[in-house]
Amino acid sequence: MTKQFYPFSQKQLRALTWWCEESAEHTKDAIICDGAVRSGKTMCMGISFVAWAFYRFEGKSFALCGKTIRSLRRNLVIPLFPVLSELGFVCREKVSSNVIEISRGTCVNRFYLFGGRDESSAALIQGMTLCGVLFDEVALMPRSFVEQAIARCSVNGSKFWFNCNPEYPQHWFRQEWILKREQKNALYLHFRMEDNPSLPEEMLRRYRTLYTGTFYERFVEGKWVCAQGAVYPFMSQGGMFCEIPSGPFERYAVSCDYGTKNPASFGLWGEQRDSWYRIGEYYFDSKREGFQKTDEEYYVQLCRLLDGREPAGIVVDPSALSFIETIRRHGKYHVIPARNSVLDGIRKTSTALKEGRIRICKSCTDAIREFGLYRWSDGQAGDIPLKENDHAMDDIRYFVTTFLEQGDGIYAIAAQRTGR
């Protein structure tokens, strides 16, 4: 089936053709595209990068970089392949070695995939000789990785492609590249959703209603702003908390934020008609109560919260190793260490709440209390929520990033463990 193509906007055309000799910008060493989500910058840059590589080089090596190789494949590589095929390119990916061999006619170039997850990632790209690098979501990568990749581009005529959604104003990439773009000889293009002609008006309306506060300013308006105020400001609106729905639930799960000196928060979730409801909770503050509980005592409370229900899984704070081991030792429940990316988890939780994929029932008074108190820090050191009134907030975030993100894979594992 032939892929449907939409006409490009003027800004997208600049991103596609800036390196062409006919362009007034072809002497630039780099291009930076930042701004709103769904603005079409990633696809344009992918097409542009491959086209430039074949116009300028033959039999050379290039790098495609994302926060992780998995996210890079999902966000860029997989959507790009059919477009390149329509343009006459042949793509052969060697998954085991993370390299894509792209050919057009007799010309062949190699594109290596790299993940820049943390500071140790810089070592992965050392020793290579590259003609160009594309950084997808560069603001999510450590500076050391980006600078190491840039240093690998020692071939005459090499260039760099950067794209990202905005973060906080003091972020190193904004300070070192966007604000110094003249010194870096870089073309800077700022994208809004309206710059993507393929995005229908109903999708524009949807994204405008999905986000609030800081995430609206960043992901819809494309601004580099500090996170401030309430983390979930929309939860103060009427109708955000509901009664426990009547009728049976299809599945159950529990999310746990473990604490000894700090409070512990467990949430009981039930699935009904494609939504997960937080129908019960257990919250224990050792400072308020004047004593601490052991792992075994917390396990007893977990069993009481479930009250005979068979959960698909128990998702637990990944740092709570002793509690995870306690649950496993009893052999009754399938325990899953939670994914613990704070900012990404907050964004996904915000979206899930706005879309109604998770609902908080009025019986969960400690979660409701924390929604009203959970706030951002001053933003000077990045996007960091205050480490207070965050225990139910953390267990809810664990639930979203681990259950909602992994979907049926969680239940398949749980079914295998229980023999159902």
Q: Which domains does the chain have, with CATH numbers?
A: 10-200 (3.40.50.300), 233-418 (3.30.420.280)
Instruction: Enter the tokens of residue 85.
Output: 């095929």
Q: What is the pLDDT of residue 294?
A: 96
Q: State whether residue 39 is helix, strand or coil.
A: coil
The predicted model scores a pTM of 0.74
CA distances from 207 to 79, 204, 227, 242, 405 (A): 21, 5, 19, 24, 19
Confidence bin at 419 (pLDDT 50/70/90): very low
* pLDDT tens digits, 229-273: 899 999 988 889 999 999 899 999 999 999 988 999 999 999 999
β-sheet bridge partners, residue 329 = none
Q: What is the pLDDT of residue 383?
A: 82
Using CB atoms within 10 A of its CB, is residue 238 exposed (0-12), middle (13-18) or buried (19+)? exposed
Of 136-145, 211-220, 355-364, the range with the lowest mean pLDDT is 211-220
Q: What is the pLDDT of residue 148?
A: 94
Q: What is the pLDDT of residue 412?
A: 38
Q: Are 278 and 359 in contact (CB under 8 A)?
A: yes
β-sheet bridge partners, residue 269 = 253, 278
Work out the average pLDDT over 83-112: 95
The per-residue DSSP string of 190-201 comes to EE-GGG-TTS-H
Cβ atoms within 10 A of the Cβ of 389, count?
18
Q: What is the pLDDT of residue 115?
A: 93
Confidence bin at 378 (pLDDT 50/70/90): confident
Q: State whether residue 371 is helix, strand or coil.
A: helix
Q: What is the CA radius of gyration of the chain?
A: 24
Backbone φ, ψ for residue 162 (5° rounding): -125, 135
Whether pLDDT at 1 is above 50: no
Q: Give the closest residue to 399 by CA, choosing from 305, 249, 269.
A: 269
Q: What is the mean pLDDT of the chain?
A: 91
Whether pLDDT at 415 is above 70: no
Q: State whether residue 259 is helix, strand or coil.
A: coil
Residue 295 is given by DSSP the state: H
Residue with token string 């325990």: 335
Name the most confidently modeled range: 4-8, 127-131, 326-330, 340-344: 326-330
Confidence bin at 84 (pLDDT 50/70/90): very high
How far apart, in whole angstroms, are the C-alpha atoms of residue 149 and residue 130? Answer: 8
Whether pLDDT at 188 is above 60: yes
Confidence bin at 416 (pLDDT 50/70/90): very low
How far apart, in whole angstroms, are the C-alpha atoms of residue 350 and residue 371? Answer: 11
* pLDDT tens digits, 282-326: 999 999 999 999 999 999 999 999 999 999 999 999 999 999 999
Question: How many residues comprise the chain?
Answer: 420
Residues above pLDDT 70, as percent of the chain: 94
Q: State whether residue 360 is helix, strand or coil.
A: strand
Helices (H), 211-357: 213-219, 286-289, 295-306, 321-330, 342-355
Contacts of 70-74 with CB under 8 Å at 24 or more apart are 70/115, 71/115, 71/136, 71/137, 72/113, 72/114, 72/115, 72/136, 73/113
How far apart, in whole angstroms, are the C-alpha atoms of residue 191 and residue 194? Answer: 8
Backbone φ, ψ for residue 87 (5° rounding): -90, 5
Of 1-5, 323-327, 412-416, the range with the lowest mean pLDDT is 412-416
β-sheet bridge partners, residue 266 = 256, 282
β-sheet bridge partners, residue 161 = 31, 134
Whether pLDDT at 337 is above 90: yes
